[in-house]
Amino acid sequence: MTLSDNEINAEINAGRLILNADRKLIEGACYQLRMGGVYYDLTESGKRFELNSNQSVLIKPGHRTVLITAEEFDVPEDILVRVVSKGSLFSIGLSPVATYADPGFSGNLGIVTENTSDKYIVIPQGEPIAKADFTRLSSAATKLYKGQHGFQAGIWPIKTHLQKEHGDVVGDPRVGSEKDEAFALLPAATRTVIRRIEQTHLLTIGGLFVAILINSSVLFLIDNKFMDNVYGVIGNIVSTVIIGVAVLFGNFFRRNT
């Protein structure tokens, strides 16, 4: 059974559920959770940010963060808390949130989200960031929550051992070259532009090679210093070949790594 606003109020009055609740944030069957003064940037190795009273959360484009709620929970043994994101934040680029707090959970709740937009997202302290609803269980749970949470004990253990570099999985038949895998993450239009730039680069090198040959030949024909011109032509050809081979090898290497 989901608790109504009256039942949420009753739990808070009894010193349970949310210890520092703002009654104005209670709605018909949920409570709006506010942004607290601490957050973690998972994209920057879980760096912890403790905000001054006049500071806001800053989420960079593409970064995953853990937002720590201002609310401190004390979840009774017969209640489960479900948390979902606010549509207003999802609409500006924060990934949707769906998490929960088990019976017995106490402390500030960490909400994991990601900025999927190309803009910086600034969230003031106290801004509603999610909604929580409360379900009363048919009986009290016996296996209560025991574990770390983001505010008092530091960020929970992040399973970084599950993250691998390309070199660690390159032998897997499901994994292509590092360049191909990187390209797959880009929009199709961006991939097309990059490939056109590479083709233009190769054509430019080829054009320079031809221009140097023509220039050397013309100088050879109009100058009487035969051996000097021979050496000059040979030098130009050798240097051009070296540059061309180096560029072609570099492009080939990038395509196959």
Tell me which of 250 and 211 has the higher pLDDT. Answer: 211
58: Cβ contacts below 8 Å, ≥ 6 apart: 120, 121, 122
Q: What is the pTM of this model?
A: 0.68
pLDDT of residue 185: 67
pLDDT computed for residue 248 by the predictor: 57
Is 161 strand, coil or helix? Answer: helix
Q: Which of 18, 27, 34, 20 is nearest to 123 (CA)?
A: 34
Residue 187 has pLDDT above 70, yes or no: yes
Whether 208 has a pLDDT exceeding 80, the answer reads no
Q: Name the token pair of 134.
A: 């409360």
Structure-derived torsion over alpha carbons of residues 166, 169, 171, 172, reported in degrees to the nearest 10: -120
Q: What is the mean pLDDT of residues 123-151?
A: 85
Q: Which of 1-15, 72-86, 165-179, 183-197 has the lowest mean pLDDT?
A: 183-197
Q: What is the pLDDT of residues 190-204, one digit of tens each?
A: 878 887 887 787 778
Pairing of strands 79-85, 128-136: antiparallel
Query: Is the predicted pLDDT of residue 178 greater than 50, yes or no?
Result: yes
Residue 219: pLDDT band (50, 70, 90) is low
Structure-token match 């081979």, residue found: 245
